[in-house]
Structure 1
Amino acid sequence: MTNSLPTVIKLLAKSLEVSEESITGQTELESLGADSLTVVELIFDLEEEFNIQVGDERPSLVVVQDIADQIDRHLAASGVTP
């Protein structure tokens, strides 16, 4: 499990009004009903939560772990630990 995965799951569950227990790192975003707008809003929330800037970089995000990995890369680059 990555450092940011629990936070990603918590924010995604809140945004999509699903239980945190129903989401794992391998859960496909599409299966949760997350569209591209939802993912962008989640990234904004995570930027605020961790005080980082992801910017316009939007790699292929298929599963929840993809989002956590992207956040962890930015945290590592900025020297921040969640």
Structure 2
Amino acid sequence: MTTSLPTVINLLAKSLDIPPESITGDTELETLGADSLTVIEVIFDLEEQFNIQVGDERPDLKTVQDIADQVDRRVAAKAEAP
């Protein structure tokens, strides 16, 4: 299964103007200074890039890996859909 983690890291780095190598999957969004608006914008970008819909039901996203896991689940579900 491919992971969206590198894409999430790059989008967050670009959005927050920080080096991508300073972000890992375990990095907490709050530590990065990512507010809810930033997270929503990154999710919109991910929806467009991966052609998925996360929708309004966003779980409690605390880490970068949490976002990647959500995207990966949506991509997998889309691939399994008839």
Q: Which TM-score band applies after superposition, normalised by the shorter structure?
A: over 0.9
Unaligned runs of 5+ residues in structure 1 are none
| CA–CA distance in structure 2, aligned partners of residues 17 and 30 of structure 1 | 15
TM-score of the aligned structures, taking structure 1 as reference length: 0.92
Query: Equivalent residue for 1:58?
Result: 58
SS in 2 for 1:53: coil
Query: Equivalent residue for 1:13?
Result: 13
Residue correspondences, number: 79
Asked which structure has the greater CA Rg, the reply is: 2
| CA–CA distance in structure 1, aligned partners of residues 20 and 11 of structure 2 | 9
Superposition deviation, residue 57 in structure 1: 1.4
| CA–CA distance in structure 2, aligned partners of residues 34 and 64 of structure 1 | 10
For residues 25-64 of structure 1, the aligned pairs below 5 Å read 25-64=25-64
Query: Which residue type is aligned with residue 48 of structure 1?
Result: E
Query: Equivalent residue for 2:69?
Result: 69
RMSD: 1.2
SS in 1 for 2:57: coil
TM-score of the aligned structures, taking structure 2 as reference length: 0.92
Superposition deviation, residue 15 in structure 1: 0.3
Superposition deviation, residue 78 in structure 1: 0.2
Runs of 4 or more, structure 1, over 6 Å off, are: none
Unaligned runs of 5+ residues in structure 2 are none
